Structure 1
């Protein structure tokens, strides 16, 4: 699935992969849930950081309250 995307994503690409709105995407970045780089006024998300975020939801990796 992610093979069609570049190694460094922009916010729109990240939101498309996660199937979330841009507003939710920016909230994930602001909250620090997804590590990112800020280049000027744009956000860049390395694909490896997005995978790390997604792996956190794998069975057995969920943080329990």
Structure 2
């Protein structure tokens, strides 16, 4: 298996926001609330790429569990 730089292991808030298609402010709010997991590397806050996938999977599960509108 060959290492590639195409998908970084950790993302900045801005990179994560861009990948999710949302704003930076909302991304900060999701990180602050714990909805999206993040790590601190020195003084920097980073979001592991797999945490975005986990967040999206949780959203999908929540949407499928909503009752149908009558």
Q: Tell me the equivalent position of 1:25.
A: 27
Q: Tell me the equivalent position of 1:54.
A: 56
Q: CA RMSD in A?
A: 2.1
Q: Deviations over 1:11-50 (max 9, x none)?
A: 1110001111111111010000001002233211111111
TM-score, normalised to structure 1's length? 0.77
Q: Quick check: which has more Rg, 1 or 2?
A: 2
Which stretches of structure 1, 4 residues or more, deviate above 4 A after TM superposition? none
Give the aligned length.
61
Structure 1: give runs of 5+ residues left out of the alignment.
none
Structure 2: give runs of 5+ residues left out of the alignment.
1-5
